[in-house]
Amino acid sequence: MAPRILLVRHGQTEWSRSGRHTGRTDVPLLDEGRRAAGRLGERLRGAPWNGLPDAEVRTSPLVRARRTCELAGFGDRARDWDALREWDYGAYEGLTTPEIGKRTGKDWVIWRDGVVDGESLDHLAARADEVVAWARSEDRDVLLFAHGHLLRVLGARWLGEDPSFAMRLRLDPGALSILGWAYGEPALERWNDTGHLE
């Protein structure tokens, strides 16, 4: 089993700043997002991680995650993996939660209500389960660069929780999280850590 899974949410984009659902649209990082990625790289090169020399590195192929990976200094070691793409929001792509609420005529919550013409939460969870199964088969640390909703579901599934549990796992742009073990059981070692951005 993997000793640790380190998760990195991509840096800030214009759409993440404004709360627009950014699934498959390739939105670039803002200057703020690029700086955050560089600071994360500095942090991971220091103790206790020391550059994670033996870690297996994977990234979503979408530019905001791929660029975060590169600016953090792991681009030459990373392999693109479609399983790490963000949730496909379908008809809700590019819309904010209040805009979707107006369209649906109700207090819309993605974790409860899902999306139209996009990916179901169950399908997203199946992708997260694929990543979890792969990571648990590794015998070294794993470093993943991906997206907010996908990583939140991955955290929930690591813990053996229903995918909707991800609603309770806030994850900010540029944040570092670590999935590990406690008493032989999957555990959150660190979550939504943005210390390198302060």
Residue 21 falls in the annotated catalytic set: no
DSSP-derived secondary structure letter, 159: T
| Alpha-carbon span 187 to 192, nearest angstrom | 14
- Catalytic one of 10, 21, 147, 196: 10
Residue 11 to residue 80: CA distance in whole angstroms: 17
Beta partners for residue 8, in sequence order:
145, 176
**What CA–CA distance (Å, rounded) separates 87 from 79?**
19
DSSP reduced 3-state for 57: strand
10 in catalytic set = yes
Q: How many residues does the chain have?
A: 198
* Catalytic hit among 56, 70, 86, 119: 86
Question: Which of the residues are catalytic?
Answer: 10, 86
